[in-house]
Amino acid sequence: MLLAEVAATSDAVAATRSRLAKRAAIADLLRRTADGGAADTNPGAVADDLEIVVAYLAGALRQRRTGLGYAALRDLPPPAADPTLTVRDVDAAFAAMAALEGSGSAQARSAAAAELFGSATEREQAFLRGLVAGELRQGALDSVVVDAVAEAAGTPADAVRRAVMLRGATGPVASAALLADDPSAALAAFTLEVGRPVRPMLAQSAPDIAAAFEKLASGDEPGELCVDVKLDGIRIQVHRLGDDVRVVTRSLDDITERVPEIVEVVRALPSDRLVLDGEALGVGPNGVPRPFQETAARSATHESTRGSARGPARATSAEEALADQFELTPFFFDVLHADGRDLLDAPLRDRLAVLDEVAAPHTVRRLTTSDPEAAAEFFAGAVREGQEGVVVKSLDAPYAAGRRGAGWVKVKPRKTLDLVVLAVERGSGRRQGWLSNIHLGARDPEGGFVMLGKTFKGMTDQMLEWQTERFRELEVEDNGWVVTVRPEQVVEIAFDGLQRSTRYPGGLALRFARVLRYRDDKTAAEADTIDTVRSLAV
């Protein structure tokens, strides 16, 4: 399969807002990739092609880390005139780059990247750059690709989703479904296996407790719901088979060796065959949660890179040194398997009963209530303790892993700041031709602005169109990737919290920053100061 065909499909997907049209375009490419096996003498090659194509259309590389930085993506060699690269060529090149280490590796990686990009056409270069940077914004999320696999294989989407959940990856499921004589049987072969991570269940969002209760209401009268404290830690999934314990993160990265204290806790539990879902948290001597950045350093996974195609970021040496001074404590809120019994399809009320038997006293604090006021009071208490908020859950819901099921709704207090746009990056994929990712700064009372991070979240097409025109008016410099602007435009930003950062001069970065609106009623002199931001970090 030529890379040019994948890039062309990506363009087609980016050009439409219709989820059905996106799905159809991807399904067509998957069929063509599978049909390519007739002329291929390597039996595993077509399956490999399918896995690569699935990853690329979902906006990710198969290599979690490549070592390539933004500088390497700015200074690209002249493009090739004609498309010759296959997806296997590209995957092999990135695999070789990812394997480089030691003295001279940076130079060798740059040379390998130059060779790869020099073999790509102009369109292929743009596509590869988006993949490496984790910024292939074409609107083809993994969920769309999963639905496309179902369409291409002629199987129910729910069967594909369940198989992907249990396998923990879409690529192997796609190749199994599309290359099997009996796709349904191939999908049914994916089962829960203790020791093999599954995709975790995710929660929808609601602005407040009342809205969360309304989302989960099953009738006129609200039934009992479970309200879990939402801890500000690292999502973990733990598998135990006898004395063998494996701990993975939300993105299924194995961190077992980094968290021996969690392994010890799990080995002490009464059940020797378990799959548990929970959070790992650093807790201070006063019982207050440690800052997320400290907790994250234990797994070398930073919130700012979750979901990025570039993979987990490494913790700094200072963060790792600090992390070595304390242990992580596990808090479990769900159980997927216990002592030979799979619990994925059991209602939450039954899973919680098993959880209390096998994981006490290491469970998340929760409240069961049908009273929104009682839940709101519980939420306020969790926030006062320094936690992120709560997750409201239906007691009747199964564990719908791998997607944002209707059974869980998270509620977090919304924080906002009025910040100033310092620069803006060119868009790619569906945002090609627009100025997209904005650089955010807080006002320094001593003069100037202090950068706190970047975001492209929350922008509508109308907003992108407006800000492209606006920031061209404010343009000071354009290096081909980043447009520096006069610091005049104020934007209201919502964010979930702050974390320490060595990347930004203020020592802080916004977590999950998203645009609410542009503030034409405020001047840059009225923007929030870095002192205000620092006061929120206390």
Q: Looking at the annotation, which residues are catalytic?
A: 230
Task: Confirm if 31 and 103 have CB atoms less than 8 A apart.
Answer: no
Supply 413's token pair.
């207090």
Task: Confirm if 187 and 163 have CB atoms less than 8 A apart.
Answer: yes
Radius of gyration of the chain (CA): 24
Task: Confirm if 442 and 413 have CB atoms less than 8 A apart.
Answer: no
CB neighbour list of residue 6: distance below 8 Å, 6 or more residues apart: 29, 53, 56, 57, 87, 127
CB neighbour list of residue 76: distance below 8 Å, 6 or more residues apart: 117, 125, 129
What CA–CA distance (Å, rounded) separates 350 from 368?
14
User: How many residues in the chain?
Assistant: 538
Q: Which amino acid is at 248?
A: V
Q: Name the residue with tokens 């790992």.
A: 280
Find how far residue 254's CA is from the centre of its chain.
Answer: 16
Helix (H) or strand (E) holding 510: strand 508-511
- Best CA proximity match to 330, nearest among 231, 243, 198, 227: 231
Task: Confirm if 484 and 476 have CB atoms less than 8 A apart.
Answer: yes
What CA–CA distance (Å, rounded) separates 5 from 306?
28
CB neighbour list of residue 506: distance below 8 Å, 6 or more residues apart: 442, 450, 451, 452, 530, 533, 534
What CA–CA distance (Å, rounded) separates 28 from 501?
44
- Best CA proximity match to 432, nearest among 20, 136, 142: 136
> What is the per-residue burial (b if ≥16 Cβ within 10 Å, else e) of 393-416?
bbbebbbbbbbebebbbbbbeeee
CB neighbour list of residue 231: distance below 8 Å, 6 or more residues apart: 279, 281, 289, 331, 364, 387, 388
Helix (H) or strand (E) holding 357: helix 348-359
Which residues lie across from 178 on neighbouring strands? none
CA angle, 269 then 275 then 279, to 5°: 80
